């Protein structure tokens, strides 16, 4: 179609080009694309306007834009510098040289390279979630969606163009915290609770740091009365939602009620609800600060009949809407029992 127009517009094209009109101006006046204008210049044997060699990063061959211009357009909301852009484009070029880019939109691959760079530990940049990155792209007329972005990320991951770091789960949470806090309006107590969960012995052993952080954040948000979806966390940390659910189950099993529950036998001494002091630890939940009590708290361990404990959990959740008030209710029950049997303790 465009070649059919060339004989009709040949002289007009030559005239505009010799007058110094840019490719954009010629394309607009003749009703052709930027790439067609460049192609016609070669076919007509007109001299190039280049004063010297031009880098492939500046060749405007992607819908009239150069790779550098694509990244420049999103650099402000993403905080990319000129040095960052050059590094990102070298990663993209390495992917292209492997033949992996064939048949895929180059602008979307370039944007994906930027996304991977921002999340890469070696960049020193604040990591960005898929949602925020896609929003920045759409604001600059790049129509890329979250699922497409995550699929393209696999190409860079498989090619090992952004080598994985070796952060511990606690370090990974520190790196991500500011971004997560601002995007989801999270209180600092969520971070403190997530860090406390990750300190449970052997809980994070053998698990990817991303999985450990995602699961811990989900449980911490539940305990602190806020929320992030499991799929959201999976997308943010580049893992599957199944991995997040398995981590949540592991946390629940390891810290369920922060109590070791078991069966009470006939030989065990009687007490309030069959309580018996044994091995593991009940960690109190910041009660000193919340209750403004200036006394020290004692960490202890109890074994409770399983059905009784489940009934107690249901009671606490129904009364407070959360299990975070368990320590208050246990302490209240102990105090009430001692008050009712005051005479025994004074004998």
List C-alpha distances in Å: 71 to 104, 118, 163: 18, 13, 22
Second CATH level (architecture) for the domain 169-258: Orthogonal Bundle (1.10)
| C-beta separation of 238 from 116 below 8 A | no
List the chain residues with pLDDT less than 70.
Answer: 1-3, 49-54, 255-299, 317, 320-325, 343-347
| Token digits of residue 171 | 């370090």
Question: CA–CA separation, 343 vs 301, rounded Å?
Answer: 26
Q: Is this prediction's pTM over 0.85?
A: no
Q: What is the CA radius of gyration of the chain?
A: 31
Q: What is the pLDDT of residue 322?
A: 64
Look up tokens 């070669």; give the residue. Answer: 42
* Per-residue model confidence (pLDDT) at position 53: 58
pLDDT of residue 334: 86
Give Cα 290 distance to the centre of its chain. Answer: 30
3-state secondary structure of 279: strand
β-strand partners of 62: 65
Query: What pLDDT does 87 receive?
Result: 94
**Helices of type H across the chain:** 2-18, 23-30, 34-43, 67-78, 82-97, 106-119, 130-139, 146-158, 169-184, 188-198, 209-223, 230-237, 241-255, 287-291, 306-320, 326-340, 342-346
φ, ψ dihedrals at 128, nearest 5°: -125, 145
Architecture of domain 67-158: Orthogonal Bundle (1.10)
Which pLDDT score is estimated for 263? Answer: 41
- Report the C-alpha dihedral over residues 181, 185, 190, 195, rounded to 10 degrees: -10
Q: Does 67-158 match 169-258 in CATH topology?
A: yes
In terms of Cβ atoms closer than 10 Å to its own Cβ (0-12, 13-18, 19+), residue 71 is buried
Buried b (16+ CB within 10 A) or exposed e, 24-59: eebbeebebebbbbbebbeeeeeeeeeeeeeeebee
Cβ atoms of residues 114 and 74 within 8 Å: yes
Q: Would you list the domain boundaries of the chain?
A: 2-48, 67-158, 169-258, 272-346
Neighbours of 77 (CB within 10 A): 15
Predicted pLDDT of residue 336: 83
Residue 66 near residue 59 (C-beta atoms within 8 A)? yes
Here the tokens at position 150 are 């995550």
């Amino acid at each position: 179609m465009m070649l059919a127009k060339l004989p009709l517009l040949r002289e007009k094209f030559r005239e505009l080009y010799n007058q110094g009109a840019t490719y954009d101006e010629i394309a607009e006046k003749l009703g052709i694309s930027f790439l067609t204008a460049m192609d016609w210049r070669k076919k007509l044997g007109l001299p190039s306007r280049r004063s010297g060699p031009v880098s492939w990063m500046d060749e405007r061959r992607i819908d009239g834009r150069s790779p550098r211009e694509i990244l420049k357009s999103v650099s402000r909301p993403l905080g990319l510098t000129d040095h960052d852009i050059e590094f990102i484009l070298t990663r993209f070029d390495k992917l292209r040289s492997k033949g992996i880019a064939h048949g895929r939109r180059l602008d979307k691959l370039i944007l994906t390279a930027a996304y991977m760079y921002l999340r890469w530990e070696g960049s020193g940049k604040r990591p960005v979630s898929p949602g925020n990155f896609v929003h920045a792209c759409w604001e600059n007329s790049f129509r890329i969606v979250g699922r497409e972005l995550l699929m393209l990320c696999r190409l860079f991951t498989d090619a090992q163009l952004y080598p994985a770091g070796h952060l511990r789960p606690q370090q990974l949470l520190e790196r991500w915290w500011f971004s997560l806090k601002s995007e989801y309006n999270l209180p600092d107590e969520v971070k403190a609770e997530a860090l406390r969960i990750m300190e449970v012995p052997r809980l994070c052993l053998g698990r990817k740091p991303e999985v450990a952080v995602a699961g811990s954040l989900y449980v911490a948000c539940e305990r602190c009365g806020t929320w992030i979806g499991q799929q959201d966390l999976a997308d943010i940390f580049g893992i599957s939602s199944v991995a997040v659910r398995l981590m949540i189950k592991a946390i629940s099993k390891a810290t369920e009620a922060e109590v070791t529950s078991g069966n009470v036998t006939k030989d065990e001494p009687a007490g309030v609800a069959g309580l018996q002091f044994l091995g593991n630890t009940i960690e109190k939940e910041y009660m000193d600060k919340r209750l403004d009590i200036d006394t020290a708290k004692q960490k202890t361990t109890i074994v409770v009949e399983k059905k009784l404990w489940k009934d107690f959990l249901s009671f606490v959740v129904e009364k407070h809407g959360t299990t975070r008030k368990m320590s208050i209710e246990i302490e209240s029950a102990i105090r009430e029992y001692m008050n009712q049997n005051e005479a025994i303790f004074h004998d």
